[in-house]
Chain A
Amino acid sequence: GNSVTQMEGPVTLSEEAFLTINCTYTATGYPSLFWYVQYPGEGLQLLLKATKADDKGSNKGFEATYRKETTSFHLEKGSVQVSDSAVYFCALSGDTNAGKSTFGDGTTLTVKP
């Protein structure tokens, strides 16, 4: 079945540091890939997505590129802010399973001033 593996957390960075959160996946067919963010006490918000190989999703300074050859969708941001502190989930939606999303374990990011 489909699966998503995220780098283990938590991750603690200083403000303006560079962020990478690794995500790899296993899926049949041609999945779409997503990054969701969950701020403390809140629900899931879509951060960015990519629907086919080599697509780059971007939003709020975050980027991730759909790499089919390495089955990866790593999240990056050049300069993090304290307000980026949250839990980040990598997810995929396959094209053969009723559209459900499969999530990674989540990575907790803490940005210190």
Chain B
Amino acid sequence: EPEVTQTPSHQVTQMGQEVILRCVPISNHLYFYWYRQILGQKVEFLVSFYNNEISEKSEIFDDQFSVERPDGSNFTLKIRSTKLEDSAMYFCASSEVRTSGGEQFFGPGTRLTVL
């Protein structure tokens, strides 16, 4: 069964460093998302991406964040200068369609720890 994959599974970085989280969505999907879950809290939407541009972004997704689909398979989230409060689990998701009935498939997540 096709699945969304994410690498690395765990990333430890120093405050102020840049990190890139990588995702490989399901191959025929067209819509891509990043979500964040701070430990013990709810899953929060960061950004959605379609046709090589951002469709929507939340207040969390400030200028420190960027997303890119550098080739036909990868979808990346870059945090330019990490802060302690960026420590969280980051989930990538993809869906075939954008309409509300379209199921989003989530990856296993990358746990980011900022020291």
A binds B: yes
Cβ–Cβ contact B101 & A101, under 8 A: no
With A89-B43, A99-B95: A43-B109 Cβ-Cβ less than 8 Å: yes
Tell me the nearest residue of chain B to A104, going by C-beta. Answer: B42
Residues of B within 8 A of A (CB-CB), count:
28
Stretch at the interface among A12-20, A44-52, A77-85: A44-52
Chain B's closest residue to A105 (CB) is B42
- Please give the number of chain A residues whose Cβ is less than 8 angstroms from any Cβ of chain B in the complex: 29
List of B residues within 8 angstroms of A88 by Cβ: none
Q: Are A31 and B55 in contact (CB under 8 A)?
A: no
Determine if A49 and B100 form an interchain contact, defined as CB atoms under 8 angstroms apart: no
A65 at the interface (CB under 8 A from B): no
Interface residues in chain A, defined as those with a beta carbon under 8 Å from any beta carbon in chain B: 29-32, 34, 36, 42-46, 49, 51, 89, 91-95, 97-106
B residues in contact (CB < 8 Å) with A: 31, 33, 35, 41-45, 48, 50, 55-56, 91, 93, 95, 97-109
